[in-house]
Amino acid sequence: MPEPLIDPEAPQPMGIVERLTRDDSERKRFLKMVGGAGAASFGAFVLAACGSSSSSSKTTATTAATAPAKTGTASASGDLAIANYALTLEWLETTFYERVVSAGLFKGAVGSLIADFARQEASHVQALQALIKQFGGKPVSRPKATFPIDSATQVAKLAYTVENLGAAAYLGQAANIQSPTVLAAALSIHSVEARHAATLGTLVYPGAGQVNTAITPDGAFGKPADMATVLAAVKPFLA
Amino acid sequence: MSTENLVHPELAGVEVHGMSRASFIMRGALAAGAVYGVGAVSPFVGSALAQTSTGDVDILNYALTLEYLETDFYQVKGASLKLSGLARAYAKDFGAEEAAHVAAIAEAIKDLGGTPVAMPKFSFPVTDQASFLKLASTVENLGVSAYNGAAPMISSKEVLGAAGTIVQVEARHAAAINLLIGLSPTPTQGFDVPKSKSQVLAAATPLIA
């Protein structure tokens, strides 16, 4: 059985003093992102600098939304690659929840939450497939996957890990998305993955004493994960 | 975008109108920095910021107002009530996280050459734990809709990425509060529905004294 993607047993600073200290480092991380002038940000700067000089580049959001089939540009292919990457993750989540639901490990209120999440992940798959087709791309097919499904506790922990990873994956791509339509869609899914993660967190880490671990394991600012990190983390589940 | 072929009409609801982001990002020149090198592009940076920072500063100040509201709600109103159990723990932890958002956004606004708005006075119509949690749910879910609605209008990739790190936490708060009061943690199912600035401000205005 593969190790969990993130160690759910990892110690979390819980004290108020520790948390304030950590908040300060989180604040710095945020500022680094905001003020960062890394190589990746120069593209955006250059584009902005040139924004008003070339009429051929005046692609408005409306144009992007109504004529998304315009392919061959770096932006369209980049967004399609990101959308297919997201679709791969949504397929994995969908397969995972399908097996959890059919294993019948959860009853009552928790069982109905899990069933909701299963339907919602499947709706993400359908929405991304439609979006990819609409933008002239070809949606990836469902990958073969295998997940350890042993007990309710183990599955809840794995689900918590998978959902946190999903949220981090969307967050890691948000700023790379160029079409506002694709971005808006990704954002509307991203926050739902975060809601799933927090909900599962309250099941796995119940009680007032571990609120941070359960709900906001990254603290005040969600931590993004890049594609390589995410793909390495899900590799053990790809059959 | 045409909604005919969409399996999920919810996605049509997240369509964005008249946003400036695409006008400079859709140009496919993201590799410019790599081609010309950092030195070659740095002269553009100043003028780029001059062109884009006003919009981003406005959006950040809008976000700052909402974060002030959340912070005051948890830290001042929450402290004035006799909260217990998870409600007390959430008010404390979420309040500290909202305060971290306030500090970070104010700093980001200054970095972009803007001036952070002052904190308005708030008035929260809550008298006990139940009404406090109910309003907490409203406010947190509103925060998610606000960020998701504003984010596609952000010009700077860095500001956009930073806004994403915050909306994720607002969504986590919203889910936890909803669960606590017996509401669905995913009130709009698989897709969070964004709200425009005017929709959000209309909802928040009654809370501003």
ipTM for this prediction: 0.79
Q: For residue B25, list chain A residues with Cβ-Cβ distance below 8 A.
A: 44, 47, 75, 178
Closest CA in chain A for residue B5: A130
Task: Tell me the average pLDDT across A165-176.
Answer: 97
3-state secondary structure A148-211: CCCCHHHHHHHHHHHHHHHHHHHHHHHCCCCCHHHHHHHHHHHHHHHHHHHHHHHHHCCCHHHH
**Global pTM value:** 0.76
**Mean pLDDT (whole number) for A69-84:** 72
Q: Specify the pLDDT at position B54.
A: 65
Task: Calculate the alpha carbon distances from B28 to A47, A74, B21, B90, B110 in Å.
Answer: 9, 5, 13, 44, 30
Give B31's contacts in chain A (Cβ within 8 Å): 43, 74
A68 vs chain B: nearest CA distance in angstroms? 8
Greater confidence (B121 vs A41) lies with: B121
pLDDT for residue A112: 97
Q: pLDDT tens across B137-171, in order? A: 999 999 999 999 999 999 999 999 999 999 999 99
Lowest mean pLDDT segment, chosen from A47-61, A144-158, A177-191, B3-17: A47-61
CB distance A189–B172 less than 8 Å?
Answer: no
Residue A79: the pLDDT is 96
Contact A65 B14 (CB under 8 A): no
Q: Looking at A14-23, A198-207, B65-74, which range is the least confident one?
A: A14-23
Give me the pLDDT at residue A239, please. Answer: 83
At residue A37, the 3 state secondary structure works out as coil
Q: Residue B17 half-sphere exposure, CB side, CA atoms within 13 Å?
A: 6
Q: Which residue has the higher pLDDT, A27 or B111?
A: B111
Alpha carbons A94 and A91: distance in angstroms, whole number? 5
Distance from CA of A102 to the nearest CA of B (A): 20
C-beta atoms of B45 and A221 within 8 A = no
Residue of A17, A20, A25, A47 to mutate, testing the B interface (most B Cβ within 10 Å of its Cβ): A47
Asked if pLDDT for residue B47 goes beyond 90, the answer is no
pLDDT tens digits, B8-36: 444 443 433 333 333 333 222 222 222 23
From the CA of B58, how many Å to the nearest CA of chain A? 15
Q: Return the percentage of chain A with pLDDT > 90, whole number.
A: 67
Chain B: closest CA distance from residue A154 (Å) = 21
